[in-house]
Amino acid sequence: MNFKSILKEIEKTDPEVYERLSDRRHILKSFGSKVAVAALPIALGSLFKKAYGKTTATSDVISALNFALEMEYFEYNFWHTGNSTGGLIPTADAAGFLTIEAHEKAHILFLNTTVTTLGGTPYTPNFYNPLAVNPLYIPAAYDFTAGGAYPNTFDNYPSFLVMAQIFEDTGVHAYKGQIPTLFGNAGILTQAFQIQSVEGRHAAHVRLIRRNAGAAENPAPWISNNIPPPPILTSEPESQFQPFYIGEDNTLQVGGVDITTLPDAYATGGTVPKASATAAFDESMDMVTISALLRPFLL
């Protein structure tokens, strides 16, 4: 967690953030280098409380953050299981996936601290044990084969990559669905946008690995469409995962503008193709939809 980067991003939204936090600006700017990395989430939370303590934290905001926390636990446990499974991930790909796991862990710590600072009770998965060697890893809470529907999740590398792409894409949908709830709190909103962008980069990285490995649908770095019925190949995994991409064929954006009616800068006299229009934006999914999609993977 880069404390200075966090403050720098918040400063773009709230130029007075340093004054809110401390009148000794020079000390604050060196804070990140003086505090142990493990203690940063706690220290950051206390500083947010001082800076934005007068901001009303509604139950909706806490609920949105806890939902994001639930998603982060899910992703962290998926990646930790995959990275810990001997012989699954090729050496050349291991470093990137370990980095993703570390990101998910940092997100959990940040969201835990933020929910607590706002006066809420952080979400914890079933079978959570704070005294465990790694309390964030709760294998008894998850079944990433969905009861045997996807039996090769951790036995076959291509299958693992498909599930990784599905789950990271779902994380992007989940964060975008909760963003509007956070509009009233600039500091938290900034962090949520940053986490969403990280989730998007995770998904793009997995897609690149799948593309280089010769995946049949030749995935693009971004979600490009809803999945049509077979035998049509698209840039998404096979059609059994179509429910995870409902709405991705949307071409309407803010103000009801249909992107396919806009002029295409690369085609004289033409308009934006549907494939390009659907790839231009990530779509959101609400909490109920995401929860239903992930329910088969929960114990």
Query: Is the same domain home to 127 and 239?
Result: yes
| Strand 252-253 versus strand 257-258 pairing type | antiparallel
Q: Tell me the residue length of the chain.
A: 299
- Residue 96 scores a pLDDT above 90: yes
Same domain flag for 263 and 291? no
Same domain flag for 225 and 253: no
The verdict on 128 and 242 lying in the same domain is yes
61 vs 231, higher pLDDT: 61
What is the structure's pLDDT at 36?
43
Helices marked H in the chain: 3-13, 17-21, 25-29, 31-34, 40-52, 59-84, 91-117, 157-178, 186-212, 274-279, 287-294
Q: What is the pLDDT of residues 63-92, one digit of tens each?
A: 999 999 999 999 999 999 999 999 999 999
Please give the pLDDT value at position 205.
96
Dihedrals φ, ψ of 55, to 5°? -75, 130
> Do residues 259 and 153 touch, judged by C-beta distance below 8 A?
no
288 shares its domain with 277: no
Task: State whether 90 and 177 are in the same domain.
Answer: yes
Q: Write the CA distances from 182 to 137, 171, 289, integer angstroms.
A: 28, 17, 19
Determine what percent of the chain is predicted with pLDDT higher than 70. Answer: 77
Whether residue 41 is predicted with pLDDT greater than 70 in this model: the reply is: no
Same domain, yes or no: 102 and 44: no
Point out the domain boundary residue: 54, 77, 96: 54
Same domain, 193 and 67: yes
Coil, strand or helix at 190 = helix
278: left (phi over 0), alpha (psi -120 to 50) or beta: alpha
> Crossing angle, helix 40-52 and helix 91-117, to 10 degrees?
40
Which pLDDT value is given to residue 25?
46
pLDDT tens across 228-239, in order? 544 444 555 666
Same domain, 115 and 224: yes
**Nearest Cα residue to 236 out of 227, 248, 246:** 227
Question: Tokens standing for 241?
Answer: 């995962």
Q: Which of 14-28, 47-61, 64-78, 106-120 has the lowest mean pLDDT?
A: 14-28
Return the bridge partners of 19, or none: none
Once rounded to an integer, what is the mean pLDDT over residues 177-194?
Answer: 86
Domain with 191, as residue range(s), is: 57-247+284-297
Domain count, the chain: 3
Within this chain, do residues 110 and 196 fall inside the same structural domain, yes or no? yes
28 pLDDT higher than 60: no
Residue type at 39? A
Instruction: Residue 133: give its domain's CATH number.
Output: 1.20.1260.10
Do 40 and 138 share a domain, yes or no?
Answer: no
Q: Are residues 50 and 64 in the same domain?
A: no
Under 8 Å between Cβ of 199 and 215: no
